[in-house]
Amino acid sequence: MEQNTKSTLILFQFSILLLASTAATSEAISLNPKYHVHIVNGFKSDILHSHCKSLDDDLGIRQTNPGQEYQWEFSINFWGTTLYYCSFWWNRGRHLNEVFTTKPEFIHYYCGDYNCIWKAQEEGIYAFNSESRTFEFMYKW
């Protein structure tokens, strides 16, 4: 009986240590990690206007000055259907597009390291490809 009690105590201590180490690295192994969407104003002198929302969250209308960014974070919903759209506009154009979708190829290429980075420039809207580490042209104004 004494050997069984010692084994149980050792197993309990090991479990506590394992839980403590898991808590310290919870972001790295989280089953529901946080994604970060960045909207970068790459214009030389114009203000970027944006209105981003999902079915559940309306993030409101934002104005971002040249060289600055607007960002938010979220976790994918229980059903795995999280989707964010943004309407972008400035004095020479307007565009509506998805800035986050749970499609595996989108997450792989455009949300590596849990960051989805969009940049508006005079020519159009670019997305950062985390595999090639470059901005790709996506949409014309």
Can you give the residue range of the structural domain that contains 115? 34-140
Domain assignment present for residue 81? The answer is: yes
Domain assignment present for residue 118? The answer is: yes
What is the pairing mode between strands 93-101 and 115-120? unpaired
Number of domains in the chain: 1
Q: Which has more confidence, 95 or 21?
A: 95
Domain assignment present for residue 29? The answer is: no
Domain assignment present for residue 72? The answer is: yes
User: What's the token pair of residue 134?
Assistant: 């470059």
Mean pLDDT of all residues belonging to the chain: 84
Domain assignment present for residue 20? The answer is: no
Domain assignment present for residue 18? The answer is: no
Q: What is the CATH number of the domain that holds 72?
A: 2.60.40.10
Averaged over 25-41, what is the pLDDT?
76
Domain assignment present for residue 12? The answer is: no
Three-class SS of the chain:
CHHHHHHHHHHHHHHHHHHHHHHHCHHHHCCCCEEEEEEEECCCCCCEEEEEECCCCEEEEEEECCCCEEEEEEECCCCCCCEEEEEEEECCEEEEEEEEECCHHHHHHHCHHHEEEEEECCCEEEEEECCCCEEEEEEEC
Q: 79 φ, ψ to 5°?
A: -85, -10
**Residues 41-93: pLDDT tens digits?**
999 999 999 999 999 899 999 999 999 999 999 999 999 999 999 999 999 88
Domain assignment present for residue 26? The answer is: no
